[in-house]
Amino acid sequence: MANRSHHNAGHIGMNLLRKQRRAHHSLAGIDATPPASTTHHVLIRDCRDLLKALPDESVQLIVCDPPYNIQMAHWDRHGDYIDWASQWLTQAERVLAPTGSIAIFGGLQYQGEAGSGDLIAILSHLREHSAMRLANLIVWNYANGMSAQRFFANRHEEIAWFAKSRAYYFDLDAVREPYDARTKRTYLKDKRLRPESVEKGRNPTNVWRIPRLNANSRERVGHPTQKPLAVIRRLVRALSYPGSTVLDFFAGSGVTARVAIEERRHSIVVDIDPQLHAYLDAQVANMLDECGDDRPAFEVRRDVLPDVPSGR
C-alpha cells in the first residue's frame, strides 16, 4: 500500500527515474573533483544589491537564514516583510543553477507583530510565486532551549529545502550516519539488507538532532544568532559538491564560509553588518586551530565582487 510519502514530489521523481533506468542527475555529469584551492568573497552590502550583480544560474547552494522582523537586533525591522523578502527570494531563484537548492531557516512561531514574517509567510509566498519545489521541510531538533509555563517549551526550528528543478543535486552518501556497532552486526546478518548499504550508514532523515550553540560554545564568534557548524555542514555536503559555489547573503557569523573552506567549496558571504569581517577572522582562526596539519588551501577576497560564470 502506498504511504503518504509516495505522493512526495521527490519520491515521484526518483521512482520515475528508476523505472526509466536512468541515474538520478545528482551524481551524473558533475565534476566533483576537489579544487586545489577555493576562493571566498566577503562583502558588506544589502543582499538585494549583491544578488542583482550575480549572473543567472551561477550558484549551487544558498544557505539562507533571514531576519524575521522580530526585533532581535537593529537589522531585524521591516515595514512590509513579505514585500521585502520577495525581492531577495526572486533573485535567489534566478541565480541558482538548475541543480541548485536553497535552504531557508526559520520558525513557525513568530507571528502576531505588525509587519513581522515567519517561515509560513515565506512558504506560502513561494507556493504562489516560485517554480522551485519543496524537497524537504527539515526539523532541527535540539535539547537545549528556553523554559515555558503556558505552552510546551519549543525545541525545534525548521529548514525549508527548495530545489530549483527536478534535476537537483543531492549526495545522500556524504551525510549518512554510521550505525552503532550492535545495530550494524544485526543488520549485516539480515539477508534482506544489502551489506554495502549497511556499511554506508543510515539516511539521517528530515529530523536533525543537533544541539544549539550554548553561550560558552567554542564555536561562538560573537554573533547573536550563530548556527552550529554541524547543521551548515550537512546542508553543504548534501546539496553542493566540491568546487561548486555556496552563497550566504545573510551571513551573520560567517559560519557558511568556514564550512565551505573546510569542504572545498567556493563561497560568497554577504551581510549588511561590517562586523562580518571580524566574525570571519575568528571563524578562520578557530578552523586553523582545529585542523592541525590538514590545512585546506583557500583565499579570502574582501569587498570585491565575485566573477562567477553563469552555469558554474
The residue within the footprint of ligand SAM, chosen from 41, 125, 133, 227 (CB under 6 A), is 227
Cα gap 285→155, rounded to integer Å: 31
Residue 47 interacts with ligand SAM (CB under 6 A)? yes
Q: Which stretch binds ligand SAM (CB under 6 A): 26-34, 156-164, 222-230, 236-244?
A: 222-230
Taking the least distance from each CB to ligand SAM, the nearer of 77 and 200 is: 77
Comparing CB distances to ligand SAM, the nearer of 65 and 93 is 65
Q: How far is the CB of 300 from ligand SAM (least distance, A)?
A: 17
Nearer to ligand SAM, 100 or 252 (CB): 252
Q: Per rule CB under 6 A, is residue 223 in the interface with ligand SAM?
A: yes
Q: How far is the CB of 73 from ligand SAM (least distance, A)?
A: 7
Among 27, 46, 165, 243, binds ligand SAM (CB under 6 A): 46
Give the x-and-dash track for 238-277 against ligand SAM (CB under 6 A): -----------xx-xx-x--------------xxxx----
Question: Could you tell me which stretch among 4-12, 25-33, 220-228, 288-296 binds ligand SAM (CB under 6 A)?
Answer: 220-228
Residue of minimal CB distance from ligand SAM? 252
What residue ranges bind ligand SAM (CB under 6 A)? 46-47, 65, 67, 75, 223, 225-227, 249-250, 252-253, 255, 270-273
